[in-house]
Chain A
């Protein structure tokens, strides 16, 4: 047995457990607090939590080991994670991170010898319109440059608590450049609920149906159908199957605010400045399907929004818009709880999100059954995107026909785009569906654009020849990301960055994605290192095919999109990097000596095979 470094762990965890109760569904929330307190999850804490929550130690370690923001080994007192999206990289992330590491005498990925600071990369933090960005102990830092990093390293050196750092370091702007009916029109909290109560829940569902609202997370499933399925599943339950304590069949409304797709940050803005619209939509949905409880699953990167959002919820409770007898309607009860994620893109997949809400590893479930019949705690659950709920609130207020008059026949309403990359005015743009890529590029001031990554790495790469295409479910569906690349950009670099993203975010459940995303990353590394040959391109296509057809969930299915799209639309960016040979082994003889070199401290000519 190793010596116990935390003999008083019970006492140290008592306040955290006191806050959350001995509730296993709150395990992830508890582990977040443990990480904050100890700068890692000590083994003693795992044992202690397991016994308090009536879980096995392996289960707790399983959760602690899954999420990027939790760490099983000690991290620095100050943990600085640089956002590694391609847009951050285009703004100089790599050089800035190196500069910062040099200043603090720390290697990326390691903890400084005095345990003061650790520096590493993290997946896109959703600040692409004000990057390069980073997180310090989970709080967002924006607009980083050498001056700011000088200041930050000084604050760390004098051990100033993060809460006392200058506010300007943490300033996050909305950057709303083009408002529409969601972001621009006045909304009086309660207007949607009032209209719904006047009309009735069933008639409101008909309005949502008539609006032809489709899910804003990108997949485009019809919202009214999802709500109807959930409602029907409940009817079946009430028809004599299972009922919960008190005879109330439980059902849930979940808002997916795990906005992890690189380049997407529209939910950040909706939640910062239009949270009423989102909560109102959830409340309308709750009335329609008959849910009494809702969750907002907020990505860990947006923890800075937790307090303001809690304040909005408290105000809404005070105004009678949440809680018992909402707006005086007897028996209309609904409330919302916010759960924080901890750095896992996969939790944007609805069934993985539900697992995470239950305090488990974020692993996508087998389907069927679908969440609408068997979701949170096995109960019928509606999971919708933040923007979908905002739309639903507007529809409840103004009706389905009003909404359907905007956009195209198959894609009604507006779409909020988060625009970043090579353009003069990055930020948030709301357009009616059907807008062309060309129009958007003109509006955001993108000159000489060569390509746009629509809907992030899992979406579509659009080349300059296709700028006439439209944002719509029938042409270019999108969750909102719109990353612009100038003609001088190396498109290979973007694809390379995205393969690293997917390899990092694969949950590891199924073989094709767990191994395939690694193979893809390694081949791209080989090409980037100047060792690629035409055979590697064939291999990329082959791995891409396996990923796309055999994977368990959408992450694996789309993980090869950036590579395959770039190979098809910008073959030159690959070919310029290849050797003339038809084949070169991936095994790097010289690279294999690196361990020996670092052990012996040698780096002279004779320690290399060249």
Chain B
């Protein structure tokens, strides 16, 4: 007998050690997320994957599945709260979709569409953030960074380079680069690194590839992220 949890009334099998997110993705059930990527150790910081268990809000990406757990995922209330979190991510940074090269391939934008976000709602913070174009092959634009630490994890755990880290605190948290000057160009970073491929937004962009896939033909232009995440990307690519 395999063990199961239920998500919104549907039985979902899981194996010992899987999180609620793991079990959901394996069963093709979408739980919105940004800082989670199944290839890396769960992080639990964006809080988009918050689900309810016995009336308690938990992060699906870090909560281990256990027999008989009843999970609420696709409720109006949770989606309202998730939308508020996406809006928070939009206003704390400087996200200008119409001029962003990542538009259409951006997970932040895609999740916003998926959650019916029509306006940023809150007032923009317009924070001054540093752009780093020192690297020959990669742009680092902190204006679009959502502090998910996927690049930190990829560089540390896959590339074995530890190129990125986080400094500052609270709203002053920022991505820092591991080189004496603090600039990406002086680090060991290469555009072939895993860390160059995992940014969910346009904070890390590979140079000289801009608009090679036209707007309108990109990953999330025709298929919402909730579908892409469970069917695989397929078709057009980044």
Interface centre among B46, B85, B92, B170 (most CB of A within 10 A): B170
Interface centre among A64, A67, A503, A519 (most CB of B within 10 A): A519
Q: Identify the closest chain A residue to B180 (Cβ).
A: A47
Contact between chains at A515 and B45 (CB < 8 Å): no
14 contacts between A and B (CB under 8 A): A57-B178, A59-B165, A64-B167, A505-B170, A506-B169, A508-B171, A510-B47, A514-B170, A518-B92, A518-B171, A542-B84, A549-B50, A550-B85, A552-B59
Contact between chains at B45 and A546 (CB < 8 Å): no
Selected from A366, A517, A551, the residue in CB contact (under 8 A) with B170 is A517
Chain B residues whose CB sits within 8 angstroms of the CB of A2 once the complex forms: 181
Selected from B64, B89, B172, B178, the residue in CB contact (under 8 A) with A368 is B64
Cβ-based interface call for A522 (8 A): yes
Q: How far is the CA of A550 from the CA of B80 in the complex (A)?
A: 12
Cβ-based interface call for B14 (8 A): no
Chain B residues whose CB sits within 8 angstroms of the CB of A47 once the complex forms: 180
Contact between chains at B88 and A511 (CB < 8 Å): yes
Q: How far is the CA of A361 from the CA of B45 in the complex (A)?
A: 15
Chain B residues whose CB sits within 8 angstroms of the CB of A517 once the complex forms: 170-171
Contact between chains at B168 and A519 (CB < 8 Å): no
Chain A residues whose CB sits within 8 angstroms of the CB of B46 once the complex forms: 510-511
Q: A503-B171, A586-B123 are in contact. Are A58 and B165 (CB under 8 A)?
A: yes
Q: How far is the CA of A366 from the CA of B44 in the complex (A)?
A: 7
Q: How many whole Å from B58's CB to the nearest CB in chain A?
A: 10
Q: How far is the CA of A344 from the CA of B172 in the complex (A)?
A: 14
Q: Identify the closest chain A residue to B82 (Cβ).
A: A550
Q: How far is the CA of A57 from the CA of B176 in the complex (A)?
A: 9
Contact between chains at B84 and A546 (CB < 8 Å): yes
Contact between chains at A344 and B169 (CB < 8 Å): yes
Contact between chains at A587 and B123 (CB < 8 Å): yes
Q: How far is the CA of A552 from the CA of B63 in the complex (A)?
A: 12
Q: A47-B180, A512-B47, A550-B50 are in contact. Are A519 and B88 (CB under 8 A)?
A: yes
Interface residues of A, count at CB 8 A = 45
Chain A residues whose CB sits within 8 angstroms of the CB of B173 once the complex forms: 508-509, 514
Contact between chains at B167 and A512 (CB < 8 Å): no
Contact between chains at A508 and B178 (CB < 8 Å): no
Chain A residues whose CB sits within 8 angstroms of the CB of B92 once the complex forms: 514-515, 518
Cβ-based interface call for A140 (8 A): no
Q: How far is the CA of A508 from the CA of B180 in the complex (A)?
A: 25
Interface centre among A2, A59, A509 (most CB of B within 10 A): A509
Selected from A62, A505, A506, A542, the residue in CB contact (under 8 A) with B167 is A62
Q: Identify the closest chain A residue to B84 (Cβ).
A: A546
Chain B residues whose CB sits within 8 angstroms of the CB of A587 once the complex forms: 123
Within 8 A of A (CB), among B80-109: 81, 84-85, 88-89, 91-92
Q: A61-B176, A510-B46 are in contact. Are A515 and B88 (CB under 8 A)?
A: yes
Cβ-based interface call for B166 (8 A): yes
Q: How far is the CA of A503 from the CA of B172 in the complex (A)?
A: 10
Selected from B47, B169, B174, the residue in CB contact (under 8 A) with A550 is B47
Q: Identify the closest chain B residue to A504 (Cβ).
A: B170
Cβ-based interface call for B147 (8 A): yes
Q: How far is the CA of A1 from the CA of B64 in the complex (A)?
A: 47
Chain A residues whose CB sits within 8 angstroms of the CB of B179 once the complex forms: 57
